[in-house]
Amino acid sequence: MTQLTIAKALTNGLRAAMEKDPKVVLMGEDIGKLGGVFRVTEGLQKDFGEERVIDTPLAEAGIVGTAVGLALRGYRPVVEIQFDGFVYPAFDHIVSQVAKMRARSLGTVAMPIVIRIPVGGGIGAVEHHSESNEAYFTHTAGLKVVCVSNPEDAYWGIQQAIATDDPVVFYEPKRRYWDKGEVGIDAPTRGLWSAAVAREGTDCTVVAYGPMVKTCLQAAQAAAEEGRSLEVVDLRSLSPLDLDTLCASVEKTGRMVVVHEASTSGGLGAEIAAAVTQRSFHHLEAPVLRVGGYNLPYPPSRLEEDFLPDLDRVLDGVDRALAF
């Protein structure tokens, strides 16, 4: 096992994918000489050259549009969007072309594009740098959407995303980039498209992904000190959803709280609540509850600690679920 940060696990995962397949190319703003704004691609241009690690102009639509052309020519492009709030200039390409090309061609044309997006708040950034826009993409058929929460999944997940013939929106929680954890370089990997039980429990299931997994594990530890047993499920894949794991957990605990940074209105928590309720209604002791960001634009950095769900808000959601 090797200790790595999430950022370095991604670097190593990208390196491994590039070593395996010469058709893997990286594109993005400042990803070459600078190594990316979070240094995830640091050193890769030096090792693989400027034709495989490509510094692009400040033009997200052009980056993704170029990736479509490369994918049609047999390449596996991995593009980096510097921050979540700047993906919108490329939104039309992603939802109109990238997502639909396979279905449009009756499966004859693959679209193996990975769109890496640092996501979420918590780093004191200005406007457009702290958004959680996953619901736009999970709503779009044809896209796979994942969000990693730890170095192990970052290392293996980016390689699995690159290897798939479907387009993948790959979210990276920016406030967890520097969190360290063990990575089993030689260990067999678990499938990226399935959820994982991060902590077992019996009283209530807490579902999270990306940056909120760590917060929920801390909440579970605090709850345990008060005699409550929380099961924490790391969703990992946001589209498709692993309903088998979610329903197995809620059928054990009888209660579920879904936690994410995005606003609750129209967020992924609403889809999870509906889907789990439909399948496991007779096992529920309480409605599936949601804990998320407020239905407001992301605030100035000095207010973000009040905006983001924290340990107390997660525990308050659990209290409400247990009170039924």
pLDDT, position 1: 80
Query: Does residue 190 register a pLDDT over 90?
Result: no
**Percent of the chain clearing pLDDT 90 (strictly above):** 96
Q: pLDDT for 209-237, tens place per residue? A: 999 999 999 999 999 999 999 999 999 99
Distance of CA 272 to the CA centre of its chain: 16
Question: DSSP 3-state assignment of 306?
Answer: helix
Query: Annotated catalytic, 139?
Result: no
pLDDT, position 202: 98
Distance of CA 279 to the CA centre of its chain: 24
pTM given for the model = 0.97
Catalytic residue among 93, 128, 129, 139: 129
**Contact 167/99 with Cβ under 8 angstroms?**
yes
Using 50, 70 and 90 to split pLDDT, how confident is the model at 203? very high
Mean pLDDT of the chain: 96
Mean pLDDT of all residues in 84-109: 95
For the chain, strand residue ranges (E) read: 2-5, 24-28, 53-55, 76-80, 114-119, 144-147, 168-173, 180-183, 196-199, 204-208, 230-234, 237-239, 256-263, 289-293
Read off φ and ψ for residue 159, nearest 5 degrees: -70, -40
Query: In one letter, which amino acid is 250?
Result: V
